[in-house]
A and B are shown apart, each in its own frame.
Chain A
Amino acid sequence: MTTTPSRSVDVVVVGSGPAGLSAAIELRRLGVERVIVVERERSGGGVPRHCHHTGFGLRDLHRLMSGPRYAEELVRRAEAAGAELRVGTTVTDLRSNGLIQLSSRNGVATIEARAVVLATGARERPRSARLVPGDRGAGVFTTGQLQQWTYLKHLPVGSRALVVGAEHVSFSAMMTLRHAGVRTVALTTELPRHQSAAVFAAATRFLYRVPILTSTRVVSVNGRGRVSDVTLEHASSGRRWTESVDTVVFTGDWIPESELARRAGLDIDEGTLGPSSDRFGGTSSPSLYAAGNLLHPVETADVAALRGRDVARRVARDVKSGAALSNLERVSLVVEAPLRWVWPNRMSSPRDVDGLFIRVGRFDVRRTLHAHQDGELIGTARTPRLVPNRSLGVSRDVLANANPRGGTIRLSLSV
């Protein structure tokens, strides 16, 4: 990358999903002058652009609307607030000192930012990354691909589908399939129960008459030119059978879109696989911040938006004062199984934490979360009922006695 920037700005936000746009709006509201939002797609708004169901905007805009409507509204507000949205523009390189390389139809440019907010979101783990063997016939999707395929491009999908997963997004995939005229044969999950809201599961089973196959693993996807069937296996009995389908949708199992964070050399959290950060998106590099589902894959759009605002407040303060903290000065939070991850996973002061998001690997009743630091139990808190793949919130009280200058804080669950 060329080291002579063609332009210098205050903040570059990478990604125009709910977190990125909300951060940009807040930055402008707080008086940060030059804010650019870089979006690699042709239109802003992120994943909600292709989520044609309601439920967006509740906690951040205090209105309920569809995904596309919500995306448009955030873009409108960002532009009205004076943020510059550059669509069709990709950040191809990012340095920890805030130098950014961009490619677009206008060419290749290097810009310099006093602060960069990475809001690149998360994606679903595709079939290949789940190591599901078999043939490579057409008809294998993720939900994100299926939604764009159906709602944005109106491409034909298939006629009979299997949805792999039974978390929130899996039910959304089923509704998209219905819209596309595809019959869903079943939802499958390797876990003993679905992980979504009871009402979604009940509607699936009784209203749409789609079975949810629990404790069921996808052994292989078969069919050469086109998917013809899927081999499934029941966990306890080991029984194997096939379902004839021409479409398979791999849903959920979110991973952060972390390439830029990795290339910029940021510390990565072993649990989330996103940059390790505190509540305000501070990372291991003083001029790089992160916001949204890149950090906690995934929370709902409105939560990502609210977190984006939080990050913006800190960025605005640091940009104005010229001071920023790096992760090296923060305490790490790590988890023990069956906890999968915690966010924030860095903390500078217990006062800064307004609650923890955790993920677990198994179902359980409510448990007590223990926090240990330097060998001492420093706090406990009750968890909600434990459901894998679902956002679980825990009170900040568990960290109230944490020592900001102490060692790593270990979180575990009572047996």
Chain B
Amino acid sequence: MSVTSMGDRNVHDGVVDVTVIGAGAVGCAIARHLARYDLSVTVVEQSNDVGNGTSKANTAILHTGFDCVPGTLESSLVRRGYDLLGSYAALAGIAVERTGGLLVAWDDEQLDALAALQEKAEMNGYAETRLLSAQQVREREANLGEGVRGGLDVPGESIICPWSTTLAFAKEAASGGVTFLFNSTVTGVAFGDANSVVTTTSGDVRTRWVINAAGLSSSDVDGLCDHHDFTVVPRRGELIVFDKLARGLIRSIILPVPTSRTKGVLVAPTVYGNLLLGPTAEDVDDPFDTATTENGLARLVDAGRRILPKLLNEEVTATYAGLRAATEFQDYQIRPHPEERYVCVGGIRSTGLTASMAIAEHVVELVIGAGVALTERNVVAVVPAMPPLGESQRRRYDDVEAIAIRNDYGEIVCHCERVSRGEIVDACTGEFAAPDVGGLRRRTRAMNGRCQGFYCAAEVVALLNELTTGPPSSSSVKAP
């Protein structure tokens, strides 16, 4: 069994070739990429699940990178990552919808900024943008509020399922022999001539190489490595998820035009069939402070009313806040330290999901560049077939053949999101089984819907408890 949880010491006996700190989208993508080589790889993660930090609460957009800062590493990695992840998603059954994006200008300043944005897109290697008149914007998006002045069409912008993405990377990595250590917070890193030691709350890992993909904690981990090249200031973004009955109000992602005064908020469809409004942007001190606020939600509601007035007639399904690993720099902080066999992969901001596979490629190139000869393995990792969570996919409840084989795919348990009993069983068993209610939500969508558990929470949580082996732990007997 390649997925190891806290307490299993076998893995600690030897020296692993690479230790990846952090099991978010980036850490899992790196682990997945390393799995193709003849290496022993361990991922250490402070929480109990993959994708449990920045990777779980974002706007879930597959970015073209049209608005990156040209010439940055971020710009090139987002552009490459867009293609890599787009292809991988098709292979692994991760939901993607090619909705396109539309920047909408609401005043003169924004209208004037569009041409520069188009130029910037071209500098970022994205040549498909098109300036639209107010009339053309209206024809495409009839429900926008009053005062549209013009727009910029970005046809490549897409939406993706962020939860399945990270989980797919992790599953593929595990199938290639990568070990995952959960509930393991890194407390120290000691570089040695031959081996280094990564000290965690669940024991030491002796390793040749260390890769820091710790997201919000990446500058802290960098500090443990005696490097102080950047500081992560968690940037909190609050978001409101609107009812699926609002989905028909827009076709594309409605993007704001950033100006000197504000970055603005977007309205985006999700692959689950909802509309997302946000994010706010507020720097916070605490890397775990994902609280929503009165002001934040009120500002979003105001913005939503201006952008898409009918949106406010629909019910709110959920509110949440995500934290982005912003730094004092305009670019990712990916720095190799070959003398210590350490690569820092820090300051990966909101574009990190899109760029994740390109970041992984880049990191492996840096390791090879440090003189490490990597040989490809004979045994290849298996691209997992992820359960269809997207509305553009054939969901299990609607899949005649799937139900014929497993009739519990036909019994819907979470009604708002149409999640079947079979999908919950799948998510609660096997490798990377949901460790708690949050993990189950991310694997199935159960309880994410408009009733927020009025109908299904008791049934779903009881089922989770029943399927979770061993006595119910405090974390598995949670209300959502």
Contacts and interface: CB of A to CB of B under 8 A. Distances in A.
B317 A155 contact: no
Nearest to A108: B400
B358 interface: no
A105 B478 contact: no
Q: Which has the most chain B C-beta neighbours within 10 Å: A103, A144, A152?
A: A103
A128 B479 contact: no
Contact of B451 (A41, A123, A138): A123
Nearest to B288: A224
Question: Do most interface residues of chain A lie in helix, strand or loop, or is the interface mixed?
Answer: mixed
Interface in B349-408: 397-400, 403-404, 407-408
A149 interface: yes
B296 A153 contact: no
A126 B453 contact: yes
Contacts of A105: 403, 407-408, 410-411
A153 B461 CA distance: 9
B458 A149 contact: yes
A145 B397 contact: no
Nearest to A121: B455
Interface stretch (A129-137, A313-321, A402-410): A129-137
B472 to A, nearest CB: 9
Contacts of A220: 291, 293-294
Contacts of B465: 155
B346 to A, nearest CB: 24
A40 B453 CA distance: 15
Contacts of A40: 412, 415
Interface string A138-166: 11111011001100110111000000000
A224 B291 CA distance: 8
Nearest to A141: B479
A41 B437 CA distance: 21
A288 interface: no
B406 to A, nearest CB: 10
Interface in B408-453: 408, 410-412, 415-416, 418, 437, 450-453
A124 B454 contact: yes
Interface in A216-262: 219-220, 222, 224, 226, 247, 255, 257, 259, 262
Given A107-B404, A141-B479, A136 B458 contact: no
A401 interface: no
B452 A128 contact: yes
Contacts of B288: 224
Interface in A91-145: 92, 103-108, 123-129, 131, 133-136, 138-142, 144-145
B234 to A, nearest CB: 14
B478 A145 contact: no
B296 A133 contact: yes
A129 B459 CA distance: 22
A219 B297 CA distance: 12
Interface in B448-480: 450-455, 457-459, 461-462, 465, 477-480
Contacts of A103: 397-398, 403, 410, 412
Contacts of B400: 107-108
A379 interface: no
B15 interface: no
- Interface centre among B288, B291, B316, by most chain A C-beta atoms within 10 angstroms, is B291
Nearest to B452: A126
B459 A90 contact: no
B134 interface: no
B113 interface: no
B319 interface: yes
Contacts of B226: none
Interface string B305-316: 000000000011
Contact of B453 (A145, A157, A255, A262): A145
A106 B437 contact: no
A128 B318 contact: yes
A142 B416 CA distance: 15
Contacts of A157: 479
Nearest to B318: A128
B292 interface: yes
B315 A129 contact: yes
Nearest to B403: A107
A88 interface: yes
A124 B451 CA distance: 8
A148 B458 contact: yes
B301 interface: yes
Please indicate which of the listed interface residues B291, B318, B416, B479 has the most CB atoms of chain A within 10 Å of its own CB.
B479
Given A92-B398, A139-B479, A259 B245 contact: yes
Most chain A Cβ neighbours within 10 Å, of B296, B408, B457: B457
Nearest to A222: B291
Given A103-B397, A155-B462, A255 B477 contact: no
B320 interface: yes
B412 A153 contact: no
B317 A129 contact: yes
Interface string B328-359: 00000000000000000000000000000000
A126 B451 contact: yes
Nearest to A152: B458
A155 B477 contact: yes
A220 to B, nearest CB: 7
A144 B454 contact: yes
Contacts of A148: 457-459
B5 interface: no
A149 B479 contact: yes
B318 A90 contact: no
Contacts of A136: 290-291, 320
Contacts of B457: 141, 145, 148-149
Contact of A155 (B293, B320, B458): B458
A144 B458 CA distance: 10
Nearest to A273: B315
A108 B458 contact: no
A354 B317 CA distance: 36
Contact of B292 (A88, A107, A134): A134
A108 B398 CA distance: 6
A120 B471 CA distance: 37
Which of B240, B411, B462, B478 gathers most chain A CB within 10 Å? B411
Contacts of A139: 478-479
Contact of A145 (B291, B415, B458): B458
Nearest to B451: A123
Interface in B280-302: 288, 290-294, 296-297, 301
B4 to A, nearest CB: 24
A133 B291 contact: yes
B455 to A, nearest CB: 7
Nearest to A90: B412
Contacts of A124: 454
Interface in B137-185: none
Contacts of A222: 291
Could you say which of A40, A41, A104, A126 has the most chain B C-beta atoms within 10 Å of its C-beta? A126
B453 A153 contact: no
A73 B288 CA distance: 51
A387 to B, nearest CB: 24
B410 A134 contact: no
B397 A90 contact: yes
Interface in B67-87: none
A104 B294 contact: no
Contacts of B451: 123, 126, 142, 257
Contacts of A156: 477
B452 A142 contact: yes
A140 B461 CA distance: 14
Which 4 residue pairs are nearest across A and B when measured between Cβ atoms? A148-B458, A126-B452, A138-B478, A105-B407
5 contacts: A40-B415, A103-B398, A107-B403, A126-B451, A149-B457
Given A92-B397, A142-B454, 7 more contacts: A133-B291, A133-B293, A133-B296, A135-B290, A136-B290, A140-B479, A153-B461
